[in-house]
């Protein structure tokens, strides 16, 4: 049996092979993605990330490390975000051919962040241990960067794998990026112990993974505020995206939503009825026929509806409040729009080749609102923070708004297919509840509609792909304000800078490694 040093040298030599190495790292990235919803294979994901760090640490050349990081990132993005092809198959004869191009561009582009992390880690790190630790810190840093850069896209962050586990409550301290840093550092621990003490390294990693569990269990029992009882009905009309805007189907889905709103409850009468994003296809104005019909169906409850509308020359994706007297008392206009979905960069040059977003009727797309704000739904319901679809994934924007009594999330996840996208969106809504310490109620066109308590637990839900309604008692919020609401992402920046400083000191104190000499 060869000595371990010989085995390490052989492994390093094998990793120098471009295509075999690329394939392995891409596969490892895909396995890391299995930790995301709906699979939730957390332990497999952490193990794959740890193996990725261990193999990457054998590659001292920054350029080679960057390419392998790119391969691992591409595998991760494809396995977690393949649902981005779904909108192109709503009208497959027109846009289907663009699906593989979009997925390749999406994966290749976001994998550049992983390439940056691995390349810089190889540049700064002297020796395997330093490279692995730099990789852990820098990967968390670039995940944070992609959450903010070019309007941001914090979807399927590495730390999201902990949603539904006690570890997810770390987000109350430092948001989703603390979860990511926690995950990457744990994955790097076995490298610190080396190959001769691999078993000890695995045990140490498992021990660190268990550290946040008592805190998470403690948060489940935190004190909540007292509140007047209120019942909310969440309506899920299940309007398939390829049928939703067909002229003959618009009245069908409208009547379905009215019928679900009017269904006699088994318990208390609803105080609020919620329709999902863009569920109202008719003109809405104070006292007009549409408002009256909707108000009549709600039988004395206030109604919140999602709709597209015109405000002067501007197209808006909005939420409207209809009172029992059929008055429209206010609108909230979606502020953070979806690139290539609600507005198309360069649409004037793409013309008819533009893939259809939900703003197809306007080449310039929707116009954003003026930022997140609370709306008052009256006695019993109180101050609520409305979020429309995509807005629920931006933790740093939500904590910038005043803390609400609860969050109302209306969405149309029919665009995301039925495999992973809707479940990943639900997981992120659960994380927002933990970060804010407030309940989240979400009405989704095709599902998953759900009520989430202030600790991130799903209390009740409607399955994906079914029409129905859910009458739920509005949960209370936590008394204590989570620390993440106080210091936001600044706390994570301090942690990353501190970690970088420690590694810089360690690098200065270590001896340079001769890349042409014996294996480390």
Catalytic-labelled residue, pool 86, 143, 277, 391: 277
Three-state helix/strand/coil letters over 354-420: CCCCCCCCCCCCCCCCCCCCCEECCCCCCEEEEEEHHHHHCHHHHCCCCCCCEEEEEECHHHHCCCC
Counting every residue written for the chain, the total comes to 520
3-state secondary structure of 237: coil
Check: CB of residue 453 under 8 Å from CB of residue 475: yes
What is the chain's percent helix, strand, coil content, to nearest 5? 50, 15, 35
Helix axes 62-81, 99-124, angle to 10 degrees: 140
Smallest CA-to-CA distance from 481 within 230, 219, 226, 228 is with 219
Q: Is residue 511 annotated as part of the catalytic site, yes or no? A: no
Separation between Cα atoms, residue 209 and residue 203, nearest integer Å: 10
Catalytic-labelled residue, pool 86, 244, 334, 342: 334
Tell me: cis bond preceding 459? Omega within 30 of 0 counts.
Answer: no
Q: CB-based contacts of 429: which residues, under 8 Å, 6+ apart?
A: 392, 407, 409, 440, 442, 450, 452
Task: Give bridge partners of residue 332 from the DSSP assignment.
Answer: 319
Q: What is the CA radius of gyration of the chain?
A: 25
End-to-end, the C-alpha distance of the chain in Å comes to 20
Catalytic-labelled residue, pool 342, 389, 435, 520: 389
Q: Is residue 334 annotated as part of the catalytic site, yes or no? A: yes
Dihedral class, residue 153 (left if φ above 0, else alpha if ψ from -120 to 50, else beta): beta
Specify burial of residue 249 (Cβ count, 10 A radius: 0-12, 13-18, 19+): middle
Specify burial of residue 164 (Cβ count, 10 A radius: 0-12, 13-18, 19+): middle
Q: How many Cβ atoms from other residues are within 10 Å of residue 146's Cβ?
A: 19
**Token couple for 393:** 């994934």
Check: CB of residue 305 under 8 Å from CB of residue 278: no
Q: Is residue 504 annotated as part of the catalytic site, yes or no? A: no
Active-site residues: which are they? 277, 334, 389
């Amino acid at each position: 049996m060869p000595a371990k040093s010989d085995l390490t040298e052989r492994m390093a030599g094998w990793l120098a092979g471009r295509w075999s190495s690329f394939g392995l790292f891409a596969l490892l990235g895909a396995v890391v993605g299995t930790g995301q919803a709906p699979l939730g294979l957390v332990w497999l994901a952490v193990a794959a990330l740890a193996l990725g760090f261990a193999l990457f640490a054998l590659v001292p050349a920054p350029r080679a490390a960057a390419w392998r990081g790119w391969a691992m990132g591409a595998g991760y993005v494809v396995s977690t975000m393949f649902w981005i092809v779904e909108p192109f198959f709503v009208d497959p004869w027109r846009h289907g051919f663009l699906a593989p191009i979009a997925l390749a561009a999406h994966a290749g582009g976001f994998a550049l962040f992983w390439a940056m992390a691995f390349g810089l880690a190889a540049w700064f790190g002297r020796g395997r241990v330093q490279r692995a630790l730099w990789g852990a810190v820098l990967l968390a840093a670039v995940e944070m960067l992609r959450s903010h850069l070019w309007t941001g896209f914090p979807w399927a962050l590495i730390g999201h794998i902990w949603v539904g586990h006690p570890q997810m409550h770390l987000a109350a301290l430092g948001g989703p990026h603390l979860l990511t840093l926690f995950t990457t550092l744990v994955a790097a621990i076995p490298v610190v112990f080396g190959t001769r003490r691999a078993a000890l390294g695995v045990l140490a990693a498992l021990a660190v993974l268990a550290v946040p569990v008592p805190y998470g269990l403690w948060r489940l029992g935190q004190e909540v505020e007292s509140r007047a009882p209120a019942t909310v009905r969440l309506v899920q009309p299940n309007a398939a995206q390829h049928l939703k805007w067909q002229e003959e189907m618009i009245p069908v889905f409208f009547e379905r939503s009215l019928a679900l709103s009017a269904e006699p409850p088994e318990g208390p009468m609803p105080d609020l009825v919620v329709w999902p994003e863009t569920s109202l296809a008719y003109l809405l104005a104070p006292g007009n026929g549409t408002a009256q019909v909707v108000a009549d169906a709600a039988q004395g409850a206030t109604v919140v509806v999602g709709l597209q509308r015109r405000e002067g020359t501007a197209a808006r994706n909005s939420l409207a409040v209809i009172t029992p007297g059929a008055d429209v008392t206010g609108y909230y206009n979606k502020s953070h729009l979806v690139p290539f979905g609600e507005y198309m960069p360069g649409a004037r040059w793409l013309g008819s080749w533009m893939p259809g977003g939900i703003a197809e009727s306007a080449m310039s797309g929707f116009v954003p609102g003026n930022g997140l704000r609370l709306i008052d739904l009256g006695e019993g319901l109180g101050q609520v923070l409305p979020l429309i679809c995509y807005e629920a994934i931006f933790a740093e924007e939500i904590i910038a708004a005043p803390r609400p009594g609860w969050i109302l999330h209306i969405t149309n996840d029919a665009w995301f297919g039925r495999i992973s996208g809707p479940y990943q969106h639900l997981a992120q809504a659960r994380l927002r509840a933990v970060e804010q310490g407030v309940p989240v109620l979400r009405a989704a066109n095709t599902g998953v509609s759900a009520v989430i308590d202030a600790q991130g637990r799903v209390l009740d839900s409607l399955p994906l792909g079914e029409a129905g309604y859910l009458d739920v008692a509005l949960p209370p919020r936590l008394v204590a304000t989570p620390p993440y609401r106080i210091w936001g992402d600044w706390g994570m920046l301090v942690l990353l800078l501190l970690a970088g400083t420690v590694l810089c000191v360690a690098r200065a104190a270590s001896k340079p490694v001769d890349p042409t000499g014996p294996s480390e």
